[in-house]
């Protein structure tokens, strides 16, 4: 149960004071009755605004095919971000919609977005080891011995003391490969290839756990059930 004015504001409808005006103007019903108390604690599934059910009151979980050129940060000074693709109401939600981990500005592909903070923590926790598959093209031929180096569990990135967890490299052609990681260090794919003498030219995440991005056009998303990764609270 949440306060009616707070609920509307948190779901991005309007400010809390505007929500009070909406209630006073008779735009909101609770259990079929026109609401008259904006401070009442309500069950979100029983609330209608202008006759319509609330917009995803229990939370949002989206599989976005991230296009190139957008960042995952909310900081305006970092440039245009992935949230600009979403409807305005979703961009105003509190808790805010955020990415599950990050993809670089120059990386495309599968990115999960959600306003369920516990889910973000669960999916990004090193404990859970969710496999993420990246397809990379590079500027020089990859040697087959790299497969064993990445899989060894002893591969060290510059400036780090902890070796990378074993990673699976599949060579698709001399300059194209798929790399499966179970962790998410800063710029990890680019740094692993750089450490091996190759510069990544293009990078696309094709898979996150069981999910693939194949049927989602770039810049669009599909909704996932909130319990897709098991039950999760707010």
Whole-number Å distance between alpha carbons of 92 and 225 = 21
Is residue 196 involved in binding ligand URA (CB under 6 A)?
Answer: no
Q: Does 180 bind ligand URA (CB under 6 A)?
A: no
Q: Given the rule CB under 6 A, which of 56-64, 79-87, 162-170, 185-193 is the region that contacts ligand URA?
A: 185-193
CA angle, 150 then 155 then 159, to 5°: 135
Interface with ligand URA includes 187 (CB under 6 A)?
yes
Nearest to 150 by CA among 132, 133, 169: 169
* In the complex, minimum distance from the CB of residue 186 to ligand URA, in angstroms, rounded to a whole number: 8
What's the CA angle centered on 137, arms 148 and 157, to 5 degrees? 50
User: Phi and psi of 119, rounded to 5°?
Assistant: -70, -40
Q: Do 97 and 59 form a contact (C-beta atoms < 8 A)?
A: no
From the CB of 18, what's the least distance to ligand URA, in Å? 38
Nearer to ligand URA among residue 11 and residue 100 (C-beta): 100
| Selected binder of ligand URA within 93, 190, 204, 207 (CB under 6 A) | 190
* Closest CB 100 distance from ligand URA, rounded Å: 12
Catalytic residue selected from 5, 21, 104, 214: 104
Q: 3-state DSSP call for residue 119?
A: helix
Q: Is 45 helix (H, G, I), strand (E, B) or coil?
A: helix
**65: contact with ligand URA by CB under 6 A:** no
**Is 36 assigned a catalytic role?**
no
Cβ closest to ligand URA, residue 193 vs residue 229:
193
User: What distance, in Å, lies between the first and last C-alpha atoms of the chain?
Assistant: 13
Asked if 56 interacts with ligand URA (CB under 6 A), we say no
Is residue 112 at the binding interface for ligand URA, with CB under 6 A as the rule?
no
| The binder of ligand URA chosen from 189, 198, 211, 216 (CB under 6 A) | 189
Among 62, 86, 103, 133, binds ligand URA (CB under 6 A): 103
Strands (E), the chain: 2-3, 28-30, 33-34, 41-42, 47-49, 52-53, 61-66, 98-99, 107-114, 132-138, 168-173, 176-181, 200-208, 211-212, 221-223
Residues that bind ligand URA (CB under 6 A): 103-104, 107, 134, 187-190, 203
- Which residues form the catalytic set? 104
């Amino acid at each position: 149960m949440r306060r009616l004015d707070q609920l509307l504001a948190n779901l991005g409808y309007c400010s809390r004071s505007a929500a009070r005006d909406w209630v006073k103007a008779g735009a909101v019903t609770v259990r079929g009755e026109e609401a008259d108390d904006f401070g009442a604690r309500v069950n979100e599934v029983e609330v209608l605004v202008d006759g319509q059910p609330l917009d995803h009151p229990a939370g949002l979980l989206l599989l976005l095919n991230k296009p190139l050129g957008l960042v995952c940060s909310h900081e305006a000074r970092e440039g245009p971000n992935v949230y600009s693709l979403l409807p305005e109401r979703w961009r105003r939600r509190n808790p805010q919609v955020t990415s599950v981990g990050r993809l670089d500005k120059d990386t495309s592909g599968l990115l999960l977005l959600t306003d369920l903070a516990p889910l973000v923590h669960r999916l990004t926790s090193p404990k859970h080891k969710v496999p993420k598959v990246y397809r990379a093209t590079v500027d020089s031929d990859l040697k087959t011995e790299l497969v064993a180096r990445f899989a060894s569990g002893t591969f060290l990135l510059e400036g780090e003391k902890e070796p990378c967890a074993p990673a699976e490299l599949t060579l698709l052609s001399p300059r194209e490969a798929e790399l499966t990681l179970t962790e998410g260090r800063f710029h990890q794919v680019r740094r692993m290839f750089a450490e091996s003498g190759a510069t990544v030219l293009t990078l696309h995440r094709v898979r996150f756990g069981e999910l693939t991005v194949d049927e989602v056009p770039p810049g669009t998303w599909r909704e996932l059930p909130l319990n897709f990764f098991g039950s999760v609270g707010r």
